[in-house]
Amino acid sequence: MVITIDGPAGAGKSSVARKLAQRLGFHFLDTGAMYRTVTHVAMQQGLDLQDVTAVESLAAALEIRLEHDRVWANGCDVSISIRTPEVTRNIRHVADIASVRQILNRKQRTLVVRNDYVTEGRDQGTEVFPDAICKIFLTASPEERARRRQRQLLANGQAIAIEQLLEEQNLRDDQDQNRDVGRLFAAEDAITVSTDGMDESQVVAHLESLVRTKL
Ligand code: C5P
């Protein structure tokens, strides 16, 4: 069984999907981490990210392992290095390449064969798992998402103005919603959940009740 959670950056998908998976006894797949890993390794190897053939070869050969909250690329722990602002800024070059998306889609479909999964990303319900048993489109207003991000950063000792965060977020939304393949949109049969005014535990409980009606 596959449950998909798609939505824009900052909607809280990862932590909610992880907790939902725990409650259901499912595995959890963070597909953004896969795009981040290809981008990070490509940058580390000094590849030209505009060189489609080079990035495609890398994505095909790279062994990406996701275990609990850690990510491994060819046996190296890259859990921290895939989350830097430089990687985030460069992901679009990788995520825009149709052949790279096909390679990662295949890896994602192969992974879920053996177990039940909650998968999280941008194209899970639309492209990768069109037959998922339950599809959620998780969203929140741009202001709410930026405020949450600001609180997260502050907790890590970084004070960043809300205007700057909104600007970066709008750019990412625009890139995610307008790529030629794998663009972000809600599948026709997805349930849209707006999390404005809800805390994480309320969102998880709400999603669990939605999902359980489908199991
Ligand atoms: O979810 P996260 O913010 O870590 O994803 C990083 C980026 O990877 C997204 O902004 C998006 O461009 C890309 N991505 C994607 N398809 C997915 C998951 C992530 O294109 N299924």
Second-level CATH architecture of 2-214: 3-Layer(aba) Sandwich (3.40)
User: Could you tell me which residues come within 8 angstroms of residue 118 by beta carbon, excluding any fewer than 6 positions away?
Assistant: 2, 3, 4, 5, 17, 18, 20, 21, 24, 26, 27, 28, 29
| Shortest-distance Cα residue to atom 20 of ligand 1 | 95
Give me the interface pTM, i.e. the ipTM: 0.99
Cα Rg of the chain, angstroms: 17
pLDDT at 77 over 90: yes
Q: Is 125 annotated as a binding residue?
A: no
Percent of the chain residues past pLDDT 90, beyond the cut? 98
pLDDT reported for residue 68: 82
Q: Whose CA is closest to 122, among 138, 107, 133?
A: 138
Ligand 1 contact via 125 beta carbon (within 6 Å):
no
Mutate to test the pocket of ligand 1, among 2, 122, 135 (most ligand atoms within 8 A of CB): 122
What's the confidence (pLDDT) of residue 69?
A: 87
What's the token pair of residue 176? 């995610």
Q: Domain locations in the chain?
A: 2-214
* Residues 120-133, mean pLDDT to the nearest whole number: 98
Nearest CA to ligand 1 atom 19: 32
Residue pair 182/127 in contact by the 8 Å Cβ criterion? yes
| Residue 43 neighbours by CB distance under 10 Å | 17
Q: Has 12 been labeled as part of a binding site? A: yes
Return the closest-CA partner of residue 125 out of 182, 75, 200: 182
Using one digit for the tens of pLDDT, what is the confidence trace for 25-44? 999 999 999 999 999 999 99
Q: Is the CB of 4 under 6 A from ligand 1?
A: no
Q: How far apart are the two ends of the chain, measured CA to CA in Å?
A: 9
